[in-house]
């Protein structure tokens, strides 16, 4: 996969607005402040009985992100993730009023666990 994949679970599944804030603030930061050609998608994934979120960031071009940019995207997402709820949501509401702010919604995705992709089978 070209780009950056960030997967995580929340303690409270009802906090979709936190997921939207984290993903969209990170993407817009690199799109606007760093002038990167970046797109992103947000998925709420159901895998067997588990549910988690996956955010995918990738460049507009066919080439992959530079390894340093991959680190920077992950670091920015992590920094925002450590922000307290009120501050994060205030920043999201403030930034999203800007006409250039791009909002991406959450898409539901169901996956099945494939045992053949499990590394255990490499040892058998």
Give the residues across from 7 on adjacent strands.
Answer: 54
Helices (H) and strands (E) in the chain, counts: 3, 4
Give the mean model confidence (pLDDT) for residues 91-106.
96
pTM, two decimal places: 0.84
Percent of the chain with pLDDT over 90: 60
Give the residues across from 8 on adjacent strands.
Answer: 53
Whole-number Å distance between alpha carbons of 83 and 46: 26
Per residue in 38-97, pLDDT (tens digit) is 999 999 999 888 889 999 999 876 556 788 889 999 999 999 999 999 999 999 999 999
Angle between helices 16-28 and 67-81 (to 10 degrees): 140
Percent of the chain with pLDDT over 70: 85
> Which residue's structure tokens are 């990170």?
26
Give residue 10's pLDDT.
83
């Amino acid at each position: 996969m070209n780009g950056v994949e960030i997967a995580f679970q929340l303690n409270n599944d009802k906090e979709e607005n936190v997921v939207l804030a984290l993903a969209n603030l990170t993407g817009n930061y690199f799109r606007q402040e760093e002038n990167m050609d970046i797109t992103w998608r947000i998925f709420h994934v159901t895998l067997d009985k588990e549910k988690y979120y996956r955010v995918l960031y990738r460049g507009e071009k066919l080439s992959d992100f530079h390894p340093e940019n991959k680190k920077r995207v992950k670091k920015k997402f992590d920094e925002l993730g450590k922000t307290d709820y009120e501050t994060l949501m205030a920043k999201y509401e403030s930034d999203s009023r800007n006409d250039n702010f791009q909002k991406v919604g959450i898409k539901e995705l169901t996956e099945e666990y494939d045992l053949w992709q499990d590394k255990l089978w490499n040892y058998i």
